[in-house]
Amino acid sequence: MSKNVMAAYEKLRAEAERVLTERSEASKIRIQVGSATCENASGAGEVHEEFRKLIEASGRKDIVLRRTGCTGRCSCEPIVGVIAPGRIPVKYEKVTREKVHDIFTLHVLGGAPVTKMMLDNGLHAVPEMELHLCAGERCGRDQSRRFDALLPEKLAAAGVDASKVRIVSAGCFGLCRSEQSGKVTHMLVRPDNVLYRLADEKDLQEVIEQHLKGGRPVDRLRLKEHTVSKRFFDMYGDVAFFNRQSRIALRNSGIVDPEDLYEYMQYKGFSPLARVLEKNDPQWVIDTVTRSKLRGRGGAGYPTGQKWALAARAAEKTRYIICNADEGDPGAFMDRSMLEGDPFGVVEGMIIGGFAIGAQRGFFYIRAEYPMAIRRIQNAIEQCRKHGLLGQNIFGSGFNFDLEIRLGAGAFVCGEETALIHSIEGRRGEPRIRPPYPTESGLWGKPTVINNVETLVNIPAVIYYGPEWFARLGSERSGGTKVFALAGKVLHTGLVEVPIGTTLRQIVFGIGGGVPGGKRLKAIQTGGPAGGCIPEKLLDTPVDFDTLSRVGAIMGSGGMIIMDEDDCMVDIAKFFLSFSQDESCGKCTPCREGTKRMLEILERITSGQGVPEDLTNLERLAQLIRKASLCGLGRNAPNPILSTLTHYRDEYVAHVTEKRCPAKKCAALVRYEINAEKCVGCSACARNCPVACISGEVRKPYRIDAARCVKCGRCFQVCKFGAVNRS
Amino acid sequence: MSHCACHNTDNREQVEAASRAALSEDILRAIEEARRDPEPGGRLISILHKVQGHFGYLGKEQMDAVAQLLQVPAAEVTGVATFYHFFRLKPGGRYVINICLGTACYVKGGAEVAEKFKEELGIDFGETSKDGMFTLECARCVGTCGLAPVIMINENVHAKVKPDEVPALLARYRDKARQEQA
């Protein structure tokens, strides 16, 4: 039987190769435009169309236009990549229809990259060659092999023109193996795309002489295996935002065409599935995943292998697997990016999971707010069916499995697994008491496993590269990487994937570039409405499931919102609570009533009516709701309040006792006055005041009638002379 | 009612015909498909999505028809329809404006954008403008937080919206509607 599987896989792989060779894209100039909800919101659709017209008008047959998912560099979208044979790929940021013309005429046709439009405009000229040195924990930290420091000198000694070579200290390539750990350094040579494993200076010297000077790669030192991040580093390795990341879950996002099964196969797609089906041993899959220390990426962090083992052990043989793609946490968008950018990766993870637990049917539960993700997953399912990867007798293995999509309808509580199950059953998404856990009695009473999108997309990588490799990437108790959605008051917003155990400081400042406008960082909010706010002084906390809960936050699904000095923490707590209160399904009293009462207290505090007892009442209520609520929504709803009360108590006190909002955010506690000395009497404030409470004569100082002022702040915004004081 | 002439109380065919008449072809097909499923009720939410996609909202007549054809109690259909935010029980405007009030949009000024829309259209969340052009809704994160604040008009996402851009944006959609009508 196993022979059949490999033969079927090889046949499909050969077909993919044939189709891709026919397209012969490698010898052409490729223009690649991001295509995802976020990219399109920034105008990627128009950009794509414009390139299409220009290519058509040029009559050139050696230029191809491609679509990829998004790479997660939100603040610079739309991103366009131009890849010419034998040249280093060039990426352009914030491309508009006008910029398309310059890129096309100067670069695509003329061969001269438009440096001023390039992503992160870090380069004045595109170098002929780039050397990327792994800077991972195990590779690059050994002082005896500081190749990046040695290289310039060695290149000069060898007579290589240093101006044509750029040396980049990249993130972890994810190539570490136990026997070599700490003993070698990996180096990628672009654009030849050759990856070396160097043990000492002698090896480095050989590469310089033979490859960089002589143009012949050193076969002895070259890595022949396919590596997980190589494609990614090949495309984006020169950009600081990306090369400090380790891309495993996002390995294909922004690289492959998300609607093309053949392209997915080019990067070892479905080879893990073939391996699993060839072995035909579900227990081996479960053991592999358990050994990888992969923990659920949806928030709770339950070990994935253990969850699968529980379902596989059940007496009932009708079983289901569900992909939870109801990404409801405000501020989290990594699941959307993976669904849109690497749908085949998620589907492959689902099929492997289905095989491991012995399921016959699988469901994608996707929120209706993600229309493009729904389309791409639907397309991936259809293509898989067409090629025998879903349905009866997959790859000739005798394993039958199929997938369906079920849509969410905008209920946050459906992220809770029992509520989600009810929703798939077509009922109100209300949770129920556990146990029994879904692995025992889930969808229609049958054993059911629910995994998050990011968890599933990691599965093929775990199978392909091995559990030890994955486990070593993370921390002691948790393997692999985590994707964070960095947003809010941070310079570079977007998706950041780093090994678990990376510190908050590395993420926010090292990759995110810190807070813009010279403002001070006040809080990092993780975990959405169930999470908490982490203050600046805890920036060196490594991110892991346990460490974050110790500081009063949670890992959650990976939303990370940065707040600066202009954000009022009481107001933020109120924001989250009003969310939880609104989303409370109403089934259990502590959550339904408790969140309402807490919200009332917070509204009182932010409107200047707070009393000192409010703080103790808040704490008491919070503890009660935590203990007595039915599901995770209620039990975690007080987290934003408890964490802000712990870390920002002075702000609460200022609101309650001094009736003052230190961040000047709470309208009721803010006063507006016109400084008569600065006011030139331009009348802009009076003209913009919605309640006409500002009066005066032109060229004379104006006055605000505080009794009628609604504190909308319009006058403060429109005054060009800084004459409106806010206190 | 003692004079009632109808002895045959089985009006199944009539009810079924009336129910079919209340729905569109593709919805009926989806219901047919669901009835062949081992768990027909499991398709209820996706069918309601189709109804809203076709009619713009879930009317009582349509919900009753779905209940009848799917053989699910009408109370259950109403229960589901009212539980989920995504479903609208009143007709919406030509364009549904969803203002994201997720965390990232909130800290980047989403609330001010929302205020401007309310002011420009003279309506509150959940309401439709008098000309039937716009319905204002608030969304819980549309997943493009890196571009905050964002709004969604039907399926189009608009990024980094500033309050002063709101009038022009509305005018653009009014123009679009005019062109489509012409």
Give every residue of chain A whose pLDDT is below 50, as ranges. none
The CA-atom distances, in angstroms, between B179 and each of A63, A544, A680, B172 are: 36, 54, 46, 11
Contact yes or no for A647/A534 (Cβ under 8 A):
yes
Q: Determine what percent of chain B is predicted with pLDDT higher than 70.
A: 96
| B143 pLDDT above the threshold of 90 | no
Segment B163-176 mean pLDDT: 95
* Distance from the B2 Cα atom to the nearest Cα atom in chain A, whole angstroms: 40
pLDDT at residue A145, as a whole number: 61
Residues 6 or more apart whose CB falls under 8 angstroms from that of A590 comprise A624, A625, A628, A629, A630, A634
Residues 369-408 of A with CB under 8 A from B: 369-371, 406-408
Cis peptide before A640 (omega within 30 of 0): no
Q: What is the amino acid identity at position A585? A: C
> Does any domain span residue A188?
yes
Q: Decide if A412 and B106 are in contact by the 8 Å CB cutoff.
A: no
Judge whether residue B1 has pLDDT over 50: no
The CATH-assigned architecture of domain B95-181 is 3-Layer(aba) Sandwich (3.40)
pLDDT surpassing 90 at residue B38: no
Which of A263-277 are b and which e, b meaning 16 or more Cβ less than 10 Å from the residue's Cβ?
bbbbbbbbbbbbbbb
pLDDT in tens, A675-690: 999 999 999 999 999 8
A446 and A589 share one domain: no
Tell me, what DSSP letter sits at residue A296?
A: -
Closest to A252 measured CA to CA, from A271, A230, A274: A230
Are the Cβ atoms of B143 and A585 closer than 8 angstroms? no
Q: How many domains does chain A have?
A: 6
Contact flag B148-A487 (C-beta cutoff 8 Å): yes
* Same-domain pairing of A467 and A486: no
Interface of B with A in 3-32 (CB under 8 A): none
> Which range marks the domain in which residue A452 is found?
261-473
Residues of A in contact with B102 (CB under 8 A): 330-331
What pLDDT shows up at residue B141?
86
CATH value at residue A57? 3.40.30.10
Sign of torsion, CA A629 A634 A637 A639?
A: positive
Chain A residues within an 8 Å CB radius of B159: 38, 41-42
Say which CATH architecture domain B12-83 belongs to: Orthogonal Bundle (1.10)
A332 CB within 8 Å of a chain B CB? yes
Q: How many A×B Cβ pairs under 8 Å?
A: 156
A141 and A68 co-located in one domain: no
Q: Which residues of B touch A408 (CB under 8 A)?
A: 84, 86
CATH number of the domain within which A605 lies: 1.20.1440.230
Same domain, yes or no: A305 and A436: yes
Domain boundaries, chain B: 12-83, 95-181
Q: Tell me the nearest-neighbour CA distance from B7 into chain A, angstroms.
A: 37
Within-domain flag for A10: no
Question: Can you give the pLDDT at residue A178?
Answer: 58
Same domain, A506 and A545: yes
Closest by CA to B138, choosing from B101, B86, B96, is B101
Kindly state the DSSP code that residue B125 receives in the 8-state scheme. Answer: T
The per-residue pLDDT for range A177-213, each reduced to its tens digit, is 656 667 788 888 988 888 898 888 899 999 999 999 8
Q: Which of A74, A370, A525 sits opposite B147 (nearest CB)?
A: A74
Q: Report d(CA A134, CA A142) in Å as an integer.
A: 11
Residues in B closer than 8 angstroms to A528, CB to CB, are: 103
Interface membership of B90 toward A (CB under 8 Å): no
